[in-house]
Amino acid sequence: MDLALAKAVVTGAASTHGLGFATAKKVIDAGGYAALLDVNDEEGEKSATELGDRAIYIHADVSSESDVQAAIAKASEIMDGITLAVSCAGIIGAARALGREAPMPGEFFLNTLKVNLLGSFLVAKEAANVMQHNEPNDDGERGLIVSTASIAAFEGQIGQVSYSASKGGVVGMTLPLAREFARIGIRVNVVAPGIFMTPMVAGMTPELQDSLGAQVPFPSRLGRPEEYADLVASIYCNAMINGETIRLDGAIRMQPK
Would you please indicate which residues are annotated as catalytic (active-site) residues? 163
Q: Are the beta carbons of 171 and 146 closer than 8 angstroms?
A: no
The alpha carbon of 202 is separated from its chain's Cα centroid by a whole number of angstroms, namely 18
Q: What are phi and psi of 177, to 5 degrees?
A: -70, -40
Q: Strand, helix or coil at 94?
A: coil
Calculated CA dihedral for residues 43, 46, 49, 54, nearest 10 degrees: 0
Distance, in Å, from the CA atom of 175 to the CA atom of 161, rounded to the nearest integer, reads 23
Query: Could you tell me where the beta strands, DSSP code E, fall in 121-249?
Result: 143-148, 186-193, 245-248
